[in-house]
A = this chain, B = another copy of it.
Amino acid sequence: MEIRIGDLAKRSGCEVVTIRYYEKEGLLPKPARSGGNFRLYGDAHIERLQFIRHCRSLDMTLSEIRALLGLRDNPMQDCGEVNTLLEAHIQQVEMRVSALLQLKRHLVDLREKCSGSRSVEACGILQGLGNCNCHGESATNSQTSG
């Protein structure tokens, strides 16, 4: 029983264009085609896409997901690699949380500079934003992974 891309999209909660994108990026193998050149997907594709979406929902990059798929495709591979990947990802998330919490503290500090005046000229926030010696380089723009 094979399904077309629109049905796969509905089953996986993943957009049609994104499915095509994953195929283009090599995350999904090229599927069979109908006589009209429509993609036809079987169970293996469905499972693989669900795996990918699950990883994405965990904020893993496509690069990370590729690595996991590689391990999954190779049952002889050492399971410790999977654990290592997951561990690294957890740490990235922790770092991002930490950075955001720090950022929030700075924002809250800044908010308190609002003197309640109505004029932009007397705006403590704008002046605080124009004043660069409050926290300097301690706030980081690092992302979850890259």
> Residues on A close to B: CB < 8 A?
13, 47, 50-51, 53-59, 68, 71-72, 74-80, 82-83, 86-87, 89-90, 93-94, 96-97, 100-101, 103-104, 106-108, 110-111, 114, 117-123, 125-126, 129-132, 135, 137, 139-141, 144
- Given A79-B118, A107-B86, A119-B79 in contact, is the A54-B130 Cβ separation under 8 Å? yes
> Which of B55, B82, B86, B108 lies in contact with A90, CB distance below 8 A?
B108
- Interface pair B120/A104, CB less than 8 Å apart: no
Closest to A50 in B: B132
> Which of B59, B74, B89, B125 lies in contact with A82, CB distance below 8 A?
B125
Tell me how many chains of this kind the complex includes: 2
Chain B residues with CB below 8 A from A77, complex form: 120
A95 to chain B, nearest CB (A): 10
- Given A97-B101, A107-B93, A111-B90 in contact, is the A50-B83 Cβ separation under 8 Å? no
A84 to chain B, nearest CB (A): 11
Chain B residues with CB below 8 A from A123, complex form: 71, 79, 82
Chain B residues with CB below 8 A from A56, complex form: 141
